[in-house]
Amino acid sequence: MRKRIVAGNWKMNMTPSEAKKLVEELKPLINGNGDTEVVYCVPAIDIPIVSELVSGTGVSVGAENLYFEDKGAYTGEISAPMLVDAGVKYVIIGHSERREYFEESNIIINKKVKKALEHGLIPIICCGESLDQREQGITMDFIRQQIKVALLDISADAVKNLVIAYEPIWAIGTGKTATSDQAQEVCGAIRDLIKELYDEDTADAVRIQYGGSVNGGNAKELFSKPDIDGGLVGGASLKAEFADIVNA
Ligand code: PGA
């Protein structure tokens, strides 16, 4: 059985001192050793303090991005070995905000996935359509392309351990959640695609999250769907409400 996974994506929020306060506030509310895996994906500068504070609680630390080289003259970038050394276990790759504001292509995302795996980091690979694409009826064509390229030359064994986050762009930060049926439809189709690209065991093992305005009120319904194994949570991960989502 797939272990459920709820990850907070803090985005560009929380100074190190604010991060400390939030993690301390969440500590008594969240059991990181329960049935659901819990991850805080935090800005790079918050990684040391968050790693220290979650140590021993069962909660894992994730990064929000990485670069696809190990080291060198890439001013401003952060490498996989740096993340590993700082205690990071997961890394979000290909979030729609990175695709839109930093022009990350599917090919770049594939390079980042490879680099993360090479160093033992678990990628959380994001995909999702815009409102235009949904209205044109090309949601699955678009997502299939995103996933196929992101997973180019990635082995079945690696895919079994990674996480795919389905995040419709129109639902991110808008308060407009996909209905649980809409989310299930796409997450189910993603699992079918993994079966088509690999095999049934791999499709059964890969964990698929839904993301986009998940909150304490809608999480239970979303997570009750057979192909939704948890959530990637933005806004609601910055408050105590995140514990309600984990507990859902
Ligand atoms: P949101 O963000 O929960 O604020 O909609 C989700 C995400 O971008 O991962």
Summary mean pLDDT of the chain: 97
Predicted confidence at residue 148, as pLDDT, reads: 98
Tokens linked to 50:
């968050």
pLDDT reading at 89 higher than 90: yes
Q: Report pLDDT digits (tens) over 173-230.
A: 998 899 999 999 999 999 999 999 999 999 999 999 999 999 999 999 999 999 999 9
Predicted model pTM: 0.98
Our mutation pick for probing the ligand 1 site, out of 5, 6, 9, 11, counting the most ligand atoms within 8 A of Cβ, is: 9
How would residue 127 be classed by pLDDT, with cut points 50, 70 and 90? very high
| Residue 213 Cβ contacting ligand 1 at under 6 Å | yes
Coil, strand or helix at 93: strand
Strands (E), the chain: 4-9, 36-42, 60-63, 90-93, 122-127, 163-166, 207-211, 230-233
Our mutation pick for probing the ligand 1 site, out of 124, 208, 210, 214, counting the most ligand atoms within 8 A of Cβ, is: 214
User: Which atom of ligand 1 lies closest to the CA of 213?
Assistant: 5
How would residue 232 be classed by pLDDT, with cut points 50, 70 and 90? very high
How would residue 22 be classed by pLDDT, with cut points 50, 70 and 90? very high
How would residue 72 be classed by pLDDT, with cut points 50, 70 and 90? very high
Coil, strand or helix at 114: helix
User: Which atom of ligand 1 lies closest to the CA of 235?
Assistant: 4
Q: Rounded mean pLDDT of 14-28?
A: 97
Our mutation pick for probing the ligand 1 site, out of 166, 232, 238, 239, counting the most ligand atoms within 8 A of Cβ, is: 232
Ligand 1 centroid, distance to 172 Cα (angstroms): 5
Predicted confidence at residue 213, as pLDDT, reads: 96
Q: Report pLDDT digits (tens) over 110-124.
A: 999 999 999 999 999
Of 109, 187, 117, 115, nearest to 146 (Cα)? 109
Ligand 1 centroid, distance to 143 Cα (angstroms): 18
| Residue 234 Cβ contacting ligand 1 at under 6 Å | yes
Residue with the nearest Cα to atom 7 of ligand 1? 234
Distances (CA, A) of 45 to 20, 42, 82: 12, 8, 12
Predicted confidence at residue 96, as pLDDT, reads: 98
> Considering 37, 64, 95, 104, which one is annotated as catalytic?
95
Contacts of 29 (CB under 8 A, 6+ apart): 240, 243
What whole-number distance in Å separates Cα of residue 138 and Cα of residue 235? 28
Q: Is 119 a catalytic residue?
A: no
Q: Rounded mean pLDDT of 10-25?
A: 98
Predicted confidence at residue 1, as pLDDT, reads: 83
How would residue 28 be classed by pLDDT, with cut points 50, 70 and 90? very high
Distances (CA, A) of 18 to 24, 36, 44, 50, 120: 10, 25, 14, 11, 29
Q: Rounded mean pLDDT of 96-100?
A: 98
Q: What b/e readout covers 109-147, taking b as 16+ CB neighbours within 10 angstroms? A: bbbbbbbbbebebbbbbbbbbbeebbeeeebbebbbebb
Q: Report pLDDT digits (tens) over 151-171.
A: 999 999 999 999 999 999 999
